[in-house]
């Protein structure tokens, strides 16, 4: 059970199978292989489990108001810090793998019903033959992953059971099972929830929060952690505006109240309005990921050349030394 939000852990399944640890090894000749073994969560039985969420709010110290009855606040904070530290280590590993391969990854977050999956299907259609892979997060079913596959992209489904968010460990397992092409686009559709996913880095380049015009304009100030963590807000379903009394300017102002730097794109996955700006954002991110990969490769090649020159100089010095 999560220490802070109280959700149950459930059984995490990827494509219907229990998640396994995948430890990859790289040999001197560049070949890779991995060993897998079943994944089991670690528990601490102080009336709370050691895989909870960390949120930026405090709880009353009395057991009646605590999500983990009997745990002192300092112990709860320590557990949450440990959990996030472990998650961040997995996220750093994911990010390194993505950067080395020039893959641009986004973490899409929203409330249920914002239109994430419809947006993804439309995006895949408009990108044509460009390599796209999707990691789908839902508590149950594979319906969204099936929709993505029908759009022509590969997808893998993570079912979190009673869990309310994806974490970096789950995403790392999914990445290992996907046939990710170098220089591709990876879109991670998180579980529909504007609270817990804000705290969990998955190794993505950016979080993208999707707010539809069928929701309240004040969502950004009701759930500030998510909008503060996101680099981009997509205001979706704008084709419905003529039928609603939605204040677009207020929604954007609320988002920028909690995150002055957040970029906003207004679009409709149904009508196609604004999709060009969204695709331009994706292409710019993909180009940046390619540039980082090229810089990394150039740096490694320079290091190898420098070491080779040092070895050659040492060998020359030995050969010129008097007997």
* CATH number reported for the structural domain that contains residue 172 in this entry: 3.40.50.300
Position 20 scores a pLDDT of: 56
Least confident of 25-39, 140-154, 261-275: 25-39
For residue 147, pLDDT over 80 is answered with yes
Residue 151 lies in a domain: yes
**How many independent structural domains does the chain possess?**
1
Contact by Cβ (8 Å): 121, 147: yes
pLDDT band at 78 (very low <50, low <70, confident <90, very high): low
Residue 276 lies in a domain: yes
Residue 291 lies in a domain: no
Tokens found for residue 305: 């050349």
- Convert the pLDDT of each residue in 179-199 to its tens digit: 899 999 999 999 999 999 999
- Convert the pLDDT of each residue in 31-66 to its tens digit: 444 444 444 444 333 333 343 444 343 333 333 333
Residue 227 lies in a domain: yes
For residue 273, pLDDT over 70 is answered with yes
Residue 269 lies in a domain: yes
For CA atoms 31, 36, 39, 40, the dihedral sign is negative
The four Cα atoms 259, 261, 262, 266 give a dihedral, to 10 degrees, of 120
10 Å CB burial of residue 160 (0-12, 13-18, 19+) is: buried
% of the chain residues with pLDDT over 90: 58
> Residue 175: in which H helix or E strand, if any?
helix 168-177
Please tell me the distance from the alpha carbon of residue 253 to that of residue 281, in angstroms, as a whole number: 21
Residue 107 lies in a domain: yes
Please tell me the distance from the alpha carbon of residue 58 to that of residue 4, in angstroms, as a whole number: 9
Residue 90 lies in a domain: no
Angle at 22 between CA 18 and CA 24, to 5 degrees: 170
Give the CA count within 13 Å in the CB-facing half-sphere of 128: 2
Considering only CA atoms, give the Rg of the chain. 23
For residue 167, pLDDT over 60 is answered with yes
Domain membership of residue 269 as a residue range: 101-284
Position 66 scores a pLDDT of: 39
Give the 3-state secondary structure of residue 274. Answer: coil
What pTM was computed for the model? 0.74
For residue 117, pLDDT over 50 is answered with yes
Residue 163 lies in a domain: yes
Please tell me the distance from the alpha carbon of residue 209 to that of residue 264, in angstroms, as a whole number: 10
Please tell me the distance from the alpha carbon of residue 54 to that of residue 38, in angstroms, as a whole number: 26
């Amino acid at each position: 059970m999560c220490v802070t939000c109280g959700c149950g852990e459930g059984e995490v399944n990827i494509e219907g199978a229990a998640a396994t640890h995948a430890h990859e090894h790289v040999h001197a000749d560049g070949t890779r292989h991995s060993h897998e073994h079943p994944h089991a969560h670690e528990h601490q039985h102080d009336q709370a489990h050691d895989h909870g969420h960390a949120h930026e709010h405090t709880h009353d110290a009395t057991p009646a108001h605590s999500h983990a009855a009997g745990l002192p606040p300092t112990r709860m904070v320590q557990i949450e810090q440990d959990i996030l530290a472990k998650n961040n280590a997995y996220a750093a590993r994911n990010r390194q793998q993505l950067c080395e391969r020039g893959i641009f990854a986004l973490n899409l977050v929203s409330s249920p019903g914002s239109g994430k999956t419809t947006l993804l299907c439309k995006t895949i259609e408009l990108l044509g033959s460009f390599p796209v892979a999707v990691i789908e997060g839902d508590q149950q079913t594979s319906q969204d992953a099936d929709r993505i596959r029908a759009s022509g992209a590969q997808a893998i489904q993570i079912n979190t059971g009673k869990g309310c968010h994806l974490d970096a460990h789950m995403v790392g397992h999914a990445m290992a099972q996907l046939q990710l092409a170098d220089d591709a686009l990876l879109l991670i559709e998180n579980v529909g929830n504007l609270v817990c996913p804000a705290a969990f880095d998955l190794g993505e380049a950016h979080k993208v929060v999707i707010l539809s015009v069928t929701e309240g304009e004040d969502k950004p100030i009701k759930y500030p952690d998510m909008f503060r963590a996101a680099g981009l807000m997509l205001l979706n379903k704008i084709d419905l505006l003529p039928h609603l009394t939605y204040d677009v300017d207020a929604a954007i102002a609320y988002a920028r109240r909690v995150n002055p730097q957040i970029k906003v794109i207004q679009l409709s996955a149904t009508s196609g309005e604004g999709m060009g700006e969204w695709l331009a954002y994706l292409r710019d991110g993909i180009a940046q990921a390619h540039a980082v990969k090229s810089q990394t490769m150039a740096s490694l090649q320079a290091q190898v050349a420098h070491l080779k020159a040092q070895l050659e100089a040492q060998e020359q010095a030995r050969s010129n030394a008097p007997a």
